Amino acid sequence: MVVRHISTGSPFEKQIGYSRAVVADGWVFVAGTTGYDYATMVMPDNVVDQCRNALATIGKALEEAGSSLDHVVRVNYIVPNADDWPDCWPVTSAAFAKALPAATMISAALQTPEMKIEIEVTARIPA
């Protein structure tokens, strides 16, 4: 089995020891991704902007892997405050309008208090 690792260049990847995405056997596994703008390392204050940033980062990793948001089959959303989750629905429903992946929302603490959402996906690479 050939495995390929994809990095966004985030300092967290090296510090913690993970890849943004791993490609194996036609699958792309994207790590939990928070709302940082990795070009500036700035975290927006609100959950909707964080959600947009996370999905943009995920989308770039999927494209590098030869896939896209349209090929996501599973998505996990983690939010510290469940009351924030409905604000993200317009963003997530637009991002996954074609894929309609199986999805789970979990309410749990994230690594730092400024993080308001973390998104993890699994996608297929189209034939």
- The pLDDT tens digits of the residues spanning 72-103 come to 999 999 999 999 999 999 999 999 999 999 99
pTM flag (> 0.85): yes
User: Which residues lie below 8 Å from residue 38, measured CB to CB, with a gap of 6+?
Assistant: 8, 9, 10, 57
Predicted confidence (pLDDT) per residue in 12-43, tens digit: 888 889 889 999 999 999 999 999 988 888 99
Cα distance between residue 35 and residue 50, in whole Å? 4
- β-sheet bridge partners, residue 106: 78
